[in-house]
A and B are shown apart, each in its own frame.
Chain A
Amino acid sequence: MFSAQQSCWFVRKVICWRAAASIAWAVLLLPPTTAAFIILSRFSILHPFQWISECLSLLTSASAIFSFILLGGVIIIVGFLNLEYYTVIPNIACSKIALLGQLLHPRQFLSSLVHCIMGIIVAWCCAVTIGGRYETLGYPCVESDGSPEMCLNEYHLVLLLAGAFVGFSHSLLGVIHNMNYVSFHTVQRYKYLRFKGSLPLVVKCSATQALYSVRNYIVIYFFLGYIPKTWMCKTLNLHLNSSLHSLDTIAGLLDLCLIYHLWISATFLLFTWYITLVLFRIFVTEVYSFPVQSSFTEDSHQCLPKVITEKQPMILKFLALQDLALLSQHAPLRRSEVFSLSQPGGHPHNWNAISKECLSLLSDLTQRLIVYHDTVATNGRAKPLSTGSERKTSSDTSVISGDDPFTPKSTPLMKTPASVFTRSVVGGPQSPLTAPFTPDLDSPFASPALRRLTAPVGQCSPWHDTVQSPHIMRRGPKLWSTSTDSHVNGSPQLSPASVPSPKQEVSKPSLLAQFLQNRKEQVKNFLAKRVLIMYLFNKLPEASSQALFADSQAHIWALEGLSYLVQASFSEDRFGVVQTTLPSILSSMLVLQEAVDRHFKLPHASSKPVRSSGTMGDCHYKTLRFALRATLKTAIYRITTTFGDHLSTVQMSAEHRKRLQQFLEYKE
C-alpha cells in the first residue's frame, strides 16, 4: 500500500505534468500544421494569388476554428492514450500467435476503436477544410424523374472511411512495431533540440506510412466499398446519383486528385498523432534528478536510494537508474552524498541501498540468462544433474551465492573483528532494511588500517579454499532455482522466463509416461505438417533473445552507475565505503559476463536486427543486448584500469581471478 502511495506520488507529480506539457505543446503546434495542410491541400499553381487568399480567408473562418477545437480534442485524446498505453519495457511477441493475441486483446480493441473514431473526426475536419466536392455528406440532386432529392456525396464518404482506416491501421501498426515503447537515449539533449532533430523523421514517416495506408485503403474500397455506401444510403435515406459514376470502380479510384487528397489528409492525420507521440516520448524520458538524501524525513521516500528499489511504476525505476548513471558520471557533489555515512550511526545507507539494488538487478539478469540457456541447450527437457559439463556452471553458482554481499557467509574471517567492534560501540537503531545485510567494515570505526589488515587475512581465509570444494559443487545446480530467496527485498520478477519450470519435472521412465510422450510427439508431428499452424506457432528467430533483454536498459544503467561510482571511489570515497562491496561487484559482473558470453554463442543471439528506418516505432530494444554486452565489458575494464594491480588484494575465487587477469592484460 505504501508503495502504491509512492508511485502515486511520482506519477501524479511528475509523469502527469510531463504528459500534460507534451499534450499542450502538441495542441499549440496544431495551427501551423493545419495551415500547412490547408496550403498543400488547396494547391493550385495556375492561380497563385487566388490560392493564397483563399487559404487565408479559410484560416480565419468559423469552420476552421471549429475544426481546430475538434482537432485539439483529438490530440488530447491521443495524448491520453499515449499516457495510458506507454511502456518502458517493450512487449515482444515471440511467435506469430502471440502477436495475434496482442492484436485481439480487448484493451487493444478498445484502442483501435477509439483510433478509428478519431480518424473519422480528423477526416471530417480535413473534408471541411479542403472543401469543394468533399464538403458535405449529402447534396441536393435531381432524380431522373425530375423530383429534387438528397444524394450521397461519395467523395465525402471515401474521405471519412479513409480516416477511419488510417486510424485503425495506425493502431494495429502501433502494436506490431511496439510504438508505445518509450526508449531512453544515450545522448542527452535539450527537449527543443531533440524535437527539432526528430521532426524530419516524423515528416518522412507520416508521408510514407500515409502512402502505404492509402494504397491499402484503395484496394479495400475497390472490393468492399459498396457495403458502407449502401448502408449509408439506407440509414440516412440518401440516394445514389446515377448520373455520376461510382467511386468503387477502377475509373473512379484512378482520380489523381482524389488520391492526392486522400494521401495528404492521411499524412496530416498521422503527422499530428506522431508529433504528439514524439513530444510525449521526449517529455517523459527527460532526466529527473532525484535527491540522494534529504534532510526531512517526510521527503525520504523521494530520495534516490529509496526510489531505486521501487518496482512500480517502471518509469520511476528507469528514471532513477538513469539519474544514478548520470550522477555517477558527472556530479562529484552528489557522488559524495552517495559515499557519505548516515549521521547518527555512521552507516553508508545510501551506498548500500544503491549497490544492493544494482547487484540484485545484475544477478537477476544472470539467472534469467542461465535458465534460458539451460532450457535452450537441453531443448526444454529436464537435464541430468551434475554431468561433467556442468562443472563450470556450478562453480559459478557457488560464487553467485557465496559472493553475495549480504549473506554472512561471504566474509567469515573478515567480519568477526570489525563487526564485534561496531556492534558494541554503535548499538543504535538500525533500519530493518539494511541492518542485517550491512557488512560492518564500512563503518567509520573500522579504520582504513584495520581494513587493510583484514584484507590479506581474508584472502587466505579457509573460505577461499572451499570455493571449489565438492560440497558446493554438488549443490550448485539446485541453487539456481532457490537463490532468488536470498534477495529479501531484491530483484523484481521481471520476466516469467526466470521461473525454471522445465527443470522441476521429474523424468521417470514409466510406461504411461512413455506412452504419453509418444502420443505427444505424434500430435506434434501431425501439427507440424500443417503450414498455417507452423507459421503461427513457430518461434520468431531472435525474438526470444530480444525478449530476454527487453528491460536491459535498467541493467546498462546499473552497470554504468556501479562502475563509475567504483572508479570515483578510488579518489573520492573517504570512508572506504565502496571497498567492502567491491568483491561482490566484481564477481557479479564477471558472472554476468560469462552468462552473456554464453548467450551470444546461441544461434540468432548475435545476428544483427534489420534496421528499419521508415517507422516511428523505436527499434532501440532490438539492439539492447549488444549495448549491454559492450557496457558490461567497458564497466569491468573501467574498474580494472582504475584499480590496476590493487585488485590482487580483493578476495575472489580463483576462476574469477583468472578472468580478471585477462581483463588486466587487455585480452578480453
Chain B
Amino acid sequence: MCSLALFPPPLPSGHTTLCESNNELLSGASSEDHRLIQVSQNKLGINTAFLDHSETLWMRSAAAWRDGGFTGLLNEITNSHTEDIFQILKIWCTLALLQWVSSFHGSLFPHLTLSSEDMIAEFSQVLNWPDCVVRAFAWHPHTDKFAVALLDDSIKIYNPKSATTPTLKHRLQRSVAAVQWKPLCASALAVACQNCLLVWHVDPCSLSTRPSSGCAQVLSHPGHSPVTSIAWSPSGSLLVSASPMDTAMMVWDVAAENCVPLQRVGGGGVTFLSWSPDGSHVLASTPSLLFRVWETRMWTCERWPCVKGRCQSGCWSPDGSRLLFTVQGETVIYALTFTDAPGKVYTAAAVVADLSETTFNTQDGDITVGGEIQSLAWDPKGERLAVLLKGLVQSDRPPVIAVFKTRTSPIFELLPCGFVQGEPGAEPRLMQFHPNFQHGALLTVCWSTGRITHVPFYFLSAGVPHFGLNGSPSLPRPQERPSDFANQSLFTEMIS
C-alpha cells in the first residue's frame, strides 16, 4: 500500500509545479508561460442589468411551475411575502402536510431535503462547486479542444486551431454540473443542467461565436433533475445520466431522444457515473452507503455496499478491468478487479493507497497534507493517477493534488510521484487528463482563481509490444480506446 509519507515534500510557497521529466516533478517560481486562460470572475451574470419586477402570486407560481416543477412552485409560494392572509394560510396548511410527508422521506434519504444547487455542490466532482469559476471542464476525446462551463452558466469552447471561441448559452442551461464530449464525433457536447440535459452540436468549421439554441437538443424526463453526472459510452452510441433525486439511471439514445430508465430499489438516487474505457461497465454511486457497477451488455448490476460513507469518486483503468474508488469519510483508495474469467468472484475491495494526514518538515515549517478525497483521475495510458484531496479550511490544510505512478501489469502497483501545486493562494478545484497526449500524460487543472493550467508528465509508456503468432503486432486489449491506435503505425514496431 502506498501512503503520503513516501511522497517527496510539497514545494515551498511561491513555487508551482511545471511538469514531470526524468521521473521527477519540476517546479518554477513563475507560471506565466503556462497560463492558458484567465476566466473573468463575473459571478453575477446578466441578472444585474435588469430591474426587479413584481408580478402577482399566480403569475409567479405559474412561472415557477414551468421552470422548477412542483418543488419550485412551493418554494415560490413560501418565499412570497405579499398577498392576502387567507391564501397564505391555505397554502401554509398544504405545505405543512407536504413537509410532514417529505420529512419522513427525507429522514430516509437526507439528501432529498437539499435544494438543487446544494445537491449539485454536494455531489459534484468539483471542489467547492458553488463559488468555483470553472464549473465543469471537458477535453475532446480525440482532438485538442476543450469545453469550459463557467459560473455565469455559459460554456466556452477553446480550440488552438481555430480563432473563434464559441460561447454556448441556452435558456435551460443553468447550474452546469458536468460536460462531456461525445466520443467518435467532432461536434456533440453533452451538458448536465439543473432541469435537463442538453446536447449541443457545435459545428467545428462554423465561424459563429454564438451558436443558436437551435443547435442544442433538450433531453428531459420528469423527475430526473438536477442532473449531476453524465457519461457517454466509449462507442459514442449511448449517454447515461444521473440525478440524486431519481432512483433510476437514464440511458439515452440521443439521436432518437428516447431514454430507458434503469431502476433499482435502494440508494435513493444516483450521484456519479463513470463509464469504463472499454465500454463494458458503468460505475453508478448513490447518496447512501451503496454503489452499483452495471454491466453494459444486458444492463444488470452488482451491488457494492460501503461501510462508512457513500462512494465519492471513481475511475477505471484503461482496459476496464480495475476500478479505483474512494468513499466519503475515509482517506483511502480502494480497488476492485473485474475479470471475465468465471469462478473468480471478489467479495471485498482492496485498499491500495492511504492518504491520511501526513506532516512534512520543509523550510517553511511543517506542512500537513492529506485527508478526504474529492476526485480521482487516471490517465488514459494507465500510468499516472491524480488524486484531488479536499483539505480542511479550519486546520489550515489546503486542497492539493497528489499524483501516483501506476502500473497495471503484471501486478497492480502504486508509486508516489509528487504533489501538483499552483501559485500561492490558488486551490485546485477540478482536474482532468488529456485523452491522447503523445509524450506521456497531461493533467489539466482548474484553479480557484479561474486559471486553467496544463501540467505535462513526460515519460515513456511501459506498454510492451505483444507479438502474436503470425509476427504482426497484436494489441493486448482488443477493446482498447480507438484513439490509442491512432498513434501507432500499422506495420512498424511500437515504441518499446
Contact = CB atoms under 8 A, between A and B. Distances in A.
Interface residues of A, number: 45
B256 interface: yes
Interface in B297-312: 297-300
Interface stretch (A64-72, A484-492, A595-603, A636-644): A636-644
B98 interface: no
B212 interface: no
Interface stretch (A49-57, A150-158, A523-531, A622-630): A622-630
B299 A188 contact: yes
Contacts of A626: 255-257
Given A187-B238, A627-B256, A666-B204, A644 B485 contact: yes
A189 B255 contact: no
B257 A189 contact: no
A641 B486 contact: yes
Contacts of A332: 478
Contacts, number: 108
A634 B237 contact: yes
12 contacts: A188-B299, A190-B298, A197-B260, A197-B263, A329-B235, A330-B297, A571-B478, A611-B257, A626-B257, A642-B486, A666-B143, A666-B204
Given A623-B256, A666-B186, A190 B475 contact: no
Given A620-B258, A644-B485, A190 B237 contact: no
Nearest to B182: A634
B468 A574 contact: yes
A629 B255 contact: yes
Contacts of B470: 574
Interface of B: 140, 142-143, 184-187, 204-205, 235-238, 251, 253-258, 260-261, 263, 297-300, 468, 470, 472, 474-475, 478, 482-483, 485-487, 489-491
A149 interface: no
B235 A634 contact: yes
B256 A190 contact: no
B485 A642 contact: yes
A193 B299 contact: yes
A315 interface: no
Contact of A189 (B254, B298, B474): B298
Contacts of B478: 332, 568, 571-572
A633 interface: yes
Contacts of B185: 630, 633-634, 637
B230 to A, nearest CB: 16
A627 to B, nearest CB: 4
B184 A627 contact: no
Contacts of B253: 186-187, 627
Contacts of B143: 665-666
Interface in A520-567: 560, 567
A286 to B, nearest CB: 11
A23 B297 CA distance: 27
Nearest to A636: B184
Given A633-B185, A641-B482, A642-B485, A186 B238 contact: yes
Sorted from nearest, which 8 A-B pairs have the closest CB atoms? A630-B255, A644-B486, A623-B256, A637-B184, A666-B186, A641-B482, A627-B255, A626-B255
B113 to A, nearest CB: 26
A623 B257 contact: yes
B287 to A, nearest CB: 23
Contacts of B140: 666
Given A190-B300, A623-B258, A626-B256, 14 more contacts: A186-B253, A193-B299, A567-B482, A574-B472, A630-B255, A633-B185, A634-B185, A637-B142, A641-B142, A641-B483, A644-B486, A644-B487, A646-B489, A667-B205
Contacts of B485: 570, 641-644
A268 B204 CA distance: 54
